[in-house]
Chains A and B, each alone.
Chain A
Amino acid sequence: MKKFTNIEGAIIIDKMILIIQENKQYLSDIDGLIGDGDHGINMNKGFTMCREELDKNPGDLAHSAKALAKILIMKIGGSMGPLYGKLYRGFAKELAGNEEIGLIEMGAALEGMLASIQSISTAKPGDKTLMDTLVPAVEAFKRAISEGQNFVGALEEMKSAAKSGRDSTKNMVAQLGRASRLGERARGVLDPGATSCCLLLETLADTAIELLRK
């Protein structure tokens, strides 16, 4: 069974920080179509603060995820700060103490992500939120485990479910958040939260696969 170490895994958060920094403008642009237009600005602010923190105090994947969680929860505000903060806190909590991360540990960490964010949000798939990406992605990973797929296979399944989840928001009308005031006008536009969540989960899968192929 293939695994990578928790210390090697720290690069996953490094890559997630990069992907948010690179997509700052894109995320704000799509948010501008149906929201405040600040999603990229806020995400970049939090992830960049985490970069500075990790440069000073590096550690393993659980440590990096916990540092990111703390910054998002305490410093970012709005709705996305606490939501993504909780997501990373749940992820970090499950990974903490594991020397190595394999299929089972990652499955638990992904479920921890979902359970943690669900403790403060009632959003469900279909509401046009980041849950449209996260819920099917986590389910796909669990399904892959039960079908006996290996770690790489499960990561690939998760990635493709995240993408179709994100794309599904394009034809939805928002049920929650600021975009709900737009009614039908929100149709035809990707949800910014579902989009950033997809970027992050894709980065998680791609980076983990690279680690496993080393």
Chain B
Amino acid sequence: MQKFVNDPSKVVDEMLEAYVKVHSDLVSPTENERVIKYKEAPIKGKVGIVTGGGSGHKPAFIGYVGRNMVDAVACGEIFSSPPAQMFYDAIKEADGGEGVALLYGNYAGDNMNVAMAIDEAEDNDIEVKKVVANDDVPSAPKGQEEKRRGVAGEILMWKVGGAKAAMGASLDDVITAAQKAIDNTRSMGIGLAPCSIPEVGHPNFTIEDGKMEVGIGHHGEPGIEVCDLEPSAKIAQRFCDVIIPDLPFKKGDEVVVLISGLGSTPIMEQYIVFNDVEKILTEKEIKIYISYVGNYFTSLEMAGVTCTLMKLDKELKECIEYECDSVGIRQFQRK
């Protein structure tokens, strides 16, 4: 394992210590050193947006804290859900009096810790509602969508929820929009090489050279198939064959395309994958409204990419193109 590390048990703390120094124009530390907030939060009269999860997915989750995006984030240990206290402290930091929308991904630990944090918030008269992202198609079959994990589609959920809250919407309207965002989003990952948690020191699974794992999860959860590595065009076809019929995305739809690297795949290769996905979508007459390519939601140094599509309507389009500023995503006024 070749890593830039001092004490493997302190990687998250040291990263956060640096993060608030580097991005002091955008974020502030809070009393809880594992909770980082947008420097203007809480914003009076605005619904607060909170997320959180295990660390190791940078720029997620912390990178999406910012203006018209996430107000506060709870940063757990590597790949391990933050405790209820941390989620609750993030809720407190984000609460501007109009309630808090907790938008996070579907994992057992996060579900349990969030539920207990919401109980605690209720006891302290903060209204909290949640949306649980479940965009990872291969993680459970159609009909069992509630079992699917949340992956890179979470970013689009935060973007929509963050914009809606910034527009002055009520908590219920923010929740409805964020839920609509994730309901119209589908993702899939393909892994080429595993990653190592610094404290463990070795990969917790393997992908042999020349092979790829189709449908891999964000922590190395098993995919649906391990097969020989294929050219990018064929990989793009696999993404589309799984994602498009699942929603389904249809001729004439307008979509967001998000290709995210999983950590060590060069961005050049991510563009190659995008190119192949774009060709398939164009052929199917699915119109790309806006695209993102880069390391948006990673898994330490895992090699691989995720492909995410989101079907837009008027409201989602307005939210996606709404101005925002964060480390992970920045949107200027579109002309």
Asked whether any CB of chain A lies closer than 8 Å to the CB of B186, the reply is no
Asked whether any CB of chain A lies closer than 8 Å to the CB of B15, the reply is no
Asked whether any CB of chain A lies closer than 8 Å to the CB of B294, the reply is no
Asked whether any CB of chain A lies closer than 8 Å to the CB of B220, the reply is yes
Contact of B116 among A73, A79, A181 (CB under 8 A): A73
Chain B min CB distance to A193 (Å): 12
Residues of A within 8 A of B76 (CB): 77-78
Whole-angstrom CA separation of A15 from B129 in the bound complex: 40
The interface size bin for chain A is 20 to 34
Cβ B112 vs Cβ A38 within 8 A: no
Whole-angstrom CA separation of A79 from B220 in the bound complex: 17
Q: What mask results when residues 70 to 114 of chain A are scored 1 for a CB within 8 Å of chain B, else 0?
A: 000111111101110100000000000000000000000000000
Asked whether any CB of chain A lies closer than 8 Å to the CB of B292, the reply is no
Residues of B within 8 A of A76 (CB): 83
Chain A min CB distance to B89 (Å): 10
Residues of B within 8 A of A35 (CB): 204
Cβ B222 vs Cβ A180 within 8 A: yes
Cβ A82 vs Cβ B113 within 8 A: yes
Chain A, residue nearest B223 (CB):
A181
Residues of A within 8 A of B101 (CB): none
Cβ A183 vs Cβ B109 within 8 A: no
Contact of A38 among B86, B199, B221 (CB under 8 A): B199
Chain B, residue nearest A85 (CB):
B116
Given A77-B77, A181-B220, A181-B221, check contact A82 B82 (CB 8 Å): no
Which of the listed residues B82, B112, B120 has the most CB atoms from chain A within 10 Å of its own CB?
B112
Asked whether any CB of chain B lies closer than 8 Å to the CB of A176, the reply is yes
Cβ B112 vs Cβ A79 within 8 A: yes
Q: What mask results when residues 153 to 183 of chain A are scored 1 for a CB within 8 Å of chain B, else 0?
A: 0000000000000000000000011101111
Chain B, residue nearest A72 (CB):
B83
Chain B, residue nearest A34 (CB):
B204
Given A38-B80, A183-B222, check contact A77 B113 (CB 8 Å): yes
Cβ A181 vs Cβ B109 within 8 A: no
Cβ B83 vs Cβ A81 within 8 A: yes
Residues of A within 8 A of B108 (CB): 79, 176-177
Whole-angstrom CA separation of A42 from B109 in the bound complex: 14
Contact of A78 among B81, B115, B219 (CB under 8 A): B81
Residues of A within 8 A of B115 (CB): 120
Chain B min CB distance to A154 (Å): 31
Given A36-B200, A37-B200, check contact A120 B112 (CB 8 Å): yes
Asked whether any CB of chain A lies closer than 8 Å to the CB of B84, the reply is yes
Which of the listed residues A35, A77, A181 has the most CB atoms from chain B within 10 Å of its own CB?
A77
Contact of A178 among B82, B199, B219 (CB under 8 A): B219
Q: What mask results when residues 51 to 85 of chain A are scored 1 for a CB within 8 Å of chain B, else 0?
A: 00000000000000000000001111111011101
Asked whether any CB of chain B lies closer than 8 Å to the CB of A32, the reply is yes
Chain B, residue nearest A82 (CB):
B112
Given A36-B79, A36-B80, A38-B77, check contact A77 B116 (CB 8 Å): no
Chain A min CB distance to B132 (Å): 15
Asked whether any CB of chain A lies closer than 8 Å to the CB of B26, the reply is no
Contact of A77 among B81, B197, B199 (CB under 8 A): B81
Interface residues of B in 146-160 (CB under 8 A from A): none
Interface residues of A in 107-143 (CB under 8 A from B): 120-121
Cβ B85 vs Cβ A32 within 8 A: no
Given A77-B81, A77-B83, check contact A37 B199 (CB 8 Å): yes
Whole-angstrom CA separation of A16 from B108 in the bound complex: 26
Residues of A within 8 A of B217 (CB): 181
Residues of B within 8 A of A42 (CB): 80
**A-B CB contact pairs (8 Å), 20 listed:** A35-B204, A38-B77, A38-B200, A41-B9, A73-B83, A74-B83, A74-B84, A76-B83, A77-B81, A77-B83, A78-B80, A79-B108, A82-B109, A83-B112, A120-B115, A176-B108, A178-B204, A178-B221, A180-B221, A181-B220
The 6 closest A-B pairs by CB, nearest first: A77-B83, A82-B112, A74-B85, A181-B222, A79-B109, A78-B80
- Residues of A that sit less than 8 Å from B by CB: 32, 35-38, 41-42, 73-79, 81-83, 85, 120-121, 176-178, 180-183
